[in-house]
Each structure stands twice: as structure tokens, then as C-alpha cells.
Amino acid sequence: MLSLRFAIPTANTLTPPKIKPKPGLVVQTAWNQTDLFPSLPKRNDYKLQAATTDLSVAGDIPAEEVVELPAELSRELMPKHVAVIMDGNGRWARQRGLATSAGHEAGVKALRELVELCCQWGIQVLTVFAFSYENWIRPKVEVDFLMSLFERALKSEVESLSRGGIRISVIGDSTKLPTSLQKLINEVEETTKHNSRLQLIVAVSYSGKYDVVQACRSIAEKAKDGQIQLDDINESLIEQELETNCTEHPYPDLLIRTSGELRVSNFLLWQLAYTELFFAQELWPDFRKDEFVDALSSYQQRQRRYGGRH
């Protein structure tokens, strides 16, 4: 493994220092750089934002408490859909001399906190990459543990999720999941389908490529049945056939990946066309409120041009 410490200073840093932003300054994070830009304007005009919207529906969801946003963030610039690749549970456990299962349990706690923050800060959709299609190759013991962890987490959280107005959707190839988990997922989706405060999409046994292939198969079936002509196949039709058709906002505004890895790993390929990417150095169980604020703050400073002009 080559050494990464250069005697000759370069413009780019391999391992960017973790710099906490001073009040008024914003940290912009490139894929593998961190830098301070003192010339960026202070966001004093959006220092405190209080949310007082009452989201109670038919008495099921309690009213929101008044929530103050951190000083760096602006409610108007909050992304509608945040996606997260929750990487680093295994490494977190190894660093502490614990079993991998302890890392996954810690990961669930971090997810719980993130869901709460998203609810408080007005994010409408949160998609998390819990288990990828490629993860089936992991040791059976670990896979079985993860499946039982999903079941336990769903069973224990469904009530509080319902009370909190959170809708759960699960995407991915569910045919490979244990039957009991498949049944539980269907029940939870059914129970929470009318909730509207936050939609939590959990990607389990998911592959971005297979999502596109299953959309292609579905379209081919429709074409075979004469429901559509080949000329009718367009981007909008593909979007409708993808598994993210369970939400009104299928395209994430922001993708966060933890543990410092700089890749997308077959997650939501079609959907990430214009998504802002943020790569955090922290391992997933250590990704808490401060780190989420950094990610959102970086997002809010970016100019999204969609190929057009500045």
C-alpha cells in the first residue's frame, strides 16, 4: 500500500482535516476535500427557524414541537429527499474490539436519530441503503443476524413510527428475504401507508442496476400485452416502473455516504442523476446531528444548474 503523505504540498488533500465551521463560515466538501471559503455570505438571516405546523391527521399524529434549526441551516433550502448509504458498522465494531453485530445495533440507533432529525427539520423523504444485493455474499451468520435485526427493529418501532406520522416503504428484491420478514414488511407498509410526515424508504436486497432491469422487464411485458407501443417508452415511463415509484419525490436531492468511501456502490443509479453527493469521513454509527448539519450545510451552499447556465 503506497504511503499517502506527500512531502511536496499539493492543492488537493487525500484525507481532509475535519474542520468545524466557524459561525458564519460554511464548509464546502468536495468528494475528497474540505476547505474553508471565507468569502461565502453569512446566513444570519436564517439563523432561527421555528416550525409550528400542526401535522395531526385524524388524531393519529401528535403535533410537532417548536423546533429550532441550527444556525447554519435554512428551512427554505432544506432538501426534500435525502438518501444515505449507511457504511461503516463493521469497521466501527472492529475499532472497539466488538462483534460486527454490535456495529449493526449501533447503526440502528444512529438511524433512529437521523429519522427524528429529518422529521423535525422538514425533510419529506429519507431513503437508506440498509442491505445491498451484493451483501448476500457476506457470511451466513452475519446475513442471518441482519435479517433478524430488521425484523426486531420493525416490530419494535412500528408503533412509534405510526405515532410519529412516518410512512415506511421497503424497496429491493424481497423474494430473497425470509418469509416472516416479507410478511412483516407488508404489514408495516400497510399500517403506515397513510402517514405523511416523513416517508422512510428502506432499501433491502436492493441493486440500482436490477431496479432498472426490472423496470425494463415490466415495460417489455406491457409492450408484449399491447398496453404501450415501443415509441411510447420514455424517461417518465421508466421512472414510473422503478421501485422508487412509491414516493412523490423519487430523486434524492442529497446523497450522504459515510466511512469515507468515495463511490455509489450500485445504489439508486437512475435516481442520482442530479443528486448532490456528500462523502463523510465518519463511520455510520458515529454519524450524528453535527455531521448531518455539516452535510445539509454543504448542500445548501451548492449551486444546482442541471446542465443549464449559472
Residues that bind another protein (CB under 8 A): 1-2, 4, 10-12, 14, 28-33, 35, 133-134, 136-137, 208-210, 212-213, 215-217, 219-220, 223-224, 230, 233-235, 238, 261-267, 269-270, 272-279, 302, 306-310
- Phi, psi torsion values for 114, nearest 5 degrees: -65, -40
1 vs 48, beta carbon nearer another protein: 1
Rg of the chain, C-alpha, whole Å:
21
33 vs 120, beta carbon nearer another protein: 33
99 vs 264, beta carbon nearer another protein: 264
Considering the complex, what minimum distance in angstroms separates the CB of residue 108 from another protein?
A: 24
Classified as helix, coil or strand, 150 is helix
Which bin fits 306, alpha (ψ -120 to 50), beta or left (φ > 0)? left
Considering the complex, what minimum distance in angstroms separates the CB of residue 91 from another protein?
A: 12
Q: Is 225 a catalytic site residue?
A: no
Task: Quote the CA–CA distance of 51 and 298 in Å, as a whole number.
Answer: 22
Q: What residues contact residue 121 under an 8 Å CB cut-off, 6+ apart?
A: 67, 69, 73, 75, 78, 296
| Active-site hit among 35, 54, 60, 87 | 87
Considering the complex, what minimum distance in angstroms separates the CB of residue 134 from another protein?
A: 5
Amino acid letter for position 143 = V
What are the residue ranges of helices labelled H in the chain?
Answer: 89-95, 100-120, 140-163, 179-192, 208-224, 235-241, 289-300
| Burial classification of residue 264, based on how many CB atoms lie within 10 Å of its CB (0-12 exposed, 13-18 middle, 19 or more buried) | middle
Considering the complex, what minimum distance in angstroms separates the CB of residue 82 from another protein?
A: 14
Considering the complex, what minimum distance in angstroms separates the CB of residue 250 from another protein?
A: 13
71 vs 272, beta carbon nearer another protein: 272
DSSP designation for 270: G
194 vs 217, beta carbon nearer another protein: 217
Residues taking part in catalysis: 87
